[in-house]
Amino acid sequence: GENVEQHPSTLSVQEGDSAVIKCTYSDSASNYFPWYKQELGKRPQLIIDIRSNVGEKKDQRIAVTLNKTAKHFSLHITETQPEDSAVYFCAARPGANNLFFGTGTRLTVIP
């Protein structure tokens, strides 16, 4: 089955700096890669996703890049704000079924 690895497990940045979280996947059949943000005690919320026919996608301060050849994808957050502090999960989906999640990155934005 699919195996998703995520790094780093924790990340602290100063407010206004950029944050980058990286994930790798193992199954070349994976064609959909969402990123979820989970605040403490809350449900995971989709923040951005990318499909395998696209190399990059941006939504305001958030961007995701995908390298299919290397089987890795990354989340980029620019101009970080304290409210960006949360746990971020990457995921990959081979086919049209369930998601396989990374183990999460706890992002802390220091004011």
Using CB under 8 A as the criterion, which residues of the chain lie in contact with another protein when the complex forms? 1, 6, 32, 34, 36, 42-46, 49, 89, 91, 93, 96-104
Residue closer to another protein (CB basis): 5 or 79: 5
Which residue number, 43 or 83, has a Cβ lying nearer to another protein? 43
> Smaller CB distance to another protein: residue 77 or 90?
90
Smallest gap, in angstroms, from Cβ of residue 3 to another protein? 11
Residue 16: CB minimum distance to another protein, A: 28
DSSP string, the chain: ---EEEE-SEEEEETTS-EEEEEEE--TTEEEEEEEEE-TTS--EEEEEEETT-SEEEETTEEEEEETTTTEEEEEE-S--GGG-EEEEEEEEETTS--EE---EEEEEE-
Least distance in angstroms from the C-beta of 9 to another protein: 9
Work out how close the CB of 61 gets to another protein at its nearest, in angstroms, rounded to a whole number: 20
Return the half-sphere exposure (C-beta side, CA atoms, 13 A cut-off) of residue 53: 0
